[in-house]
Amino acid sequence: MSLTRRDHVTEAPVITKIEIQKCSRKIKDIGRETGSGTPTYLPGAEMDQSFFMTRVFTDKGIIGEYPLSADISSAAELMLERNALERGFFYAEYARYPMNLLGAVDTILWDIAGKFHNASVSELIGGFRTKLPAYASTMNGGVTGGLSTPESFADFAEQCRDIGYKGFKIHPYPRPVLQDHIDAILALGKRVGDSMDLMLDSFCFYRTFADALKVGYACDESGFFWYEDPYFDGGSTEYGHRKLREYIKTPLLQGEKVHSIQQKVNLLLSNATDFIRGGIPANGVTGTMKLAGAAEALGVDIEIHGCGPAQRHVMSAIPNSNYYEMVWVHPDVECLQMTNDIYTNYADGLELVDADGNVDIPQGVGYGVEYDWKYIRSHSTGKVVVD
């Protein structure tokens, strides 16, 4: 017998408790460059890395859980006694809060939905892709040591190509000299330009239109696949990016620093970008799927930022997305991932693609991942419970 709407609401899981554990771990040989504050390879250094291991409990015994970059404790009171399946309510309510709060709450509610329906998140959102092509996305270029010269970037690109990657993206920042960025771009084009899709993420580094233009010309010469976030403005200057597109051939990718999906669509409508960047931490699964549909309607592609279980599930359901970002890889140090150690059946990393450079979608209900709670508790620095 099918459930009526009233019966369905009665049977839906209701949120009863939120538990947040702040965790911290130390990563060896990673530090922050003097003068930039950005993490990069520094032999002998150690960097603290934090995340919030979050669990949302329901009266049906279903627990949504996910490692989040945002602390949702300020939103927890509003979540109590609500239907955990009403993601539309939470999305609309939290749209006026800081964007990472919206994305964090939405992400964990999708895990509950998958477990309630005995399906993966990929299945719930219409996933059809079983393998995702990945690109190697490098750690920030160092002033000294690994990835500090054009040749070291080109050497690493060859290493990644041999592993199976079809795409390679560099973050030359925090190297302060513009010519170093240009030289790295040209070296990559000469070495692997005919065998890999090459990308540049400027991380909003360039202070002038002239500098962004010089780098763009180098990308053109080397046949780059995209040129990401060139200006120091955080991707918000629609006119400047539109002008840049008039002068260079390399497609722009914008949207990582612009958080709301409305702002991202405005970038597309104003011809300020070619690709649009989707972000799970800011927009969650719900917002990212909305943005993907808007991009598809406009005939352009969306590229998902970062890596993780949620990113894989979302990308599996998006036809207009090209690459999974295997982010923060480096030839001399472990992949700089937020939470690799907390999983028992999942990881991202330089070598964790198949021979064709693809990654799989986690199988199982919700996000399909299992957690090492012994590790999590041993790295917990405090717990907040709201009930």
Q: What is the pLDDT of residues 232-273, one digit of tens each?
A: 998 999 999 999 999 999 999 999 999 899 999 999 999 999
Are the CB atoms for 175 and 140 separated by under 8 Å?
no
Percent of the chain with pLDDT over 70: 95
Position of tokens 């930022």?
A: 305
Domain 124-360 has CATH 3.30.365.10: no
> pLDDT digits over 46-73, tens only?
888 899 999 999 999 999 999 999 999 9
Does position 294 have pLDDT exceeding 80, yes or no? yes
Position of tokens 């995340």?
A: 51
Are the CB atoms for 264 and 240 separated by under 8 Å?
no
Mean pLDDT of the chain: 93
**C-alpha neighbours within 13 Å on the C-beta side of residue 328:** 19
| The pLDDT value given to residue 338 | 59
Confidence of residue 38 (pLDDT cuts 50, 70, 90): confident
If we measure between CA atoms, which residue out of 297, 298, 303 comes closest to residue 276? Answer: 303
CA distance 311 to 278: 10
CA distance 137 to 359: 14
CA distance 124 to 146: 42
Q: Give the helix/strand (H/E) hosting 309.
A: helix 309-316
Does position 3 have pLDDT exceeding 70, yes or no? no
| DSSP category for residue 184 | H
Q: CB 200: neighbour CB atoms within 10 A?
A: 27
Residues sharing a CB contact under 8 Å with residue 297, sequence separation 6 or more, in sequence order: none
Does position 105 have pLDDT exceeding 70, yes or no? yes
Does position 190 have pLDDT exceeding 70, yes or no? yes
What's the whole-number mean pLDDT along residues 291-295? 99
What's the whole-number mean pLDDT along residues 9-29? 90
CATH fold group of domain 5-119+372-386: Enolase-like; domain 1 (3.30.390)
Does position 367 have pLDDT exceeding 50, yes or no? yes
pTM comes to: 0.95
Indicate the domain borders of the chain: 5-119+372-386, 124-360
| 200 backbone dihedrals φ, ψ, rounded to 5° | -125, 130
| DSSP category for residue 305 | -
